[in-house]
């Protein structure tokens, strides 16, 4: 089973998204804080990861797009999925220069979510201009 990480400071939302990712065949770990996610990135624990997913709005006013930028700055090409219940426009602006970043707006249909995950996973196998 492919490994994934999902970062979300809202415990119940994290549980639901992780469950959905498991249904999609991803062994997903929920990371509840920005600091924990940053430590994982900083410690090089992204190796072998199939997908890094994060909510846009995280604890203490921090943002998931900053985590995505850190991942790219470390040279990792792991596909990144940004999820938000708010407007994704700011996230898109902040990550427009990065490849392999995908977006999904909450609430979403399961089929839409799975389709975006499929696109993200396929991007590693077949490079694209995601």
Mean pLDDT across the chain: 92
Task: Report the DSSP beta bridge partners of residue 57.
Answer: 63
Cis ω for the linkage preceding 107 (within 30 of 0): yes
Single pTM value for the model: 0.92
Q: Is 32 left (phi over 0), alpha (psi -120 to 50) or beta?
A: alpha
Average pLDDT over residues 94-115: 93
pLDDT class for 90, splitting at 50, 70, 90? confident
Q: In angstroms, rounded to a whole number, what is the distance separating the alpha carbons of residues 103 and 100?
A: 10
Instruction: Quickly list H helices, 43-109.
Output: 64-73, 89-95
pLDDT digits (tens, 9 = 90+) for 3-21: 999 999 999 999 999 999 9
pLDDT above 70: percentage of residues in the chain: 95
Return the CATH fold of 2-125: Rossmann fold (3.40.50)
Residue spans of the domains in the chain: they are: 2-125
Answer yes or no: is pLDDT of 32 > 80: yes
Looking at residue 128, its pLDDT comes to: 43
Pick the closest to residue 104 from 96, 116, 94, 93 (CA basis): 116
Mean predicted confidence (pLDDT) in 119-127:
78
């Amino acid at each position: 089973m492919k490994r994934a990480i999902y970062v979300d400071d809202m415990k119940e939302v994290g549980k639901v998204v992780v469950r959905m990712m498991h249904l999609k065949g991803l062994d997903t770990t929920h990371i509840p804080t920005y600091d924990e996610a940053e430590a994982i990135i900083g410690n090089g624990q992204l190796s072998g990861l199939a997908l890094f997913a994060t909510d846009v709005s995280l604890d203490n006013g921090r943002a998931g797009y900053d985590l995505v930028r850190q991942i790219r700055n470390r040279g990792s090409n792991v596909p990144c999925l940004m999820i938000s219940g708010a407007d994704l426009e700011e996230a898109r602006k902040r990550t427009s220069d990065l490849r392999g970043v995908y977006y999904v707006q909450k609430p979403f249909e399961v089929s839409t979510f799975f389709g975006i995950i499929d696109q993200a996973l396929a991007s590693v196998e077949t490079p694209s201009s995601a």
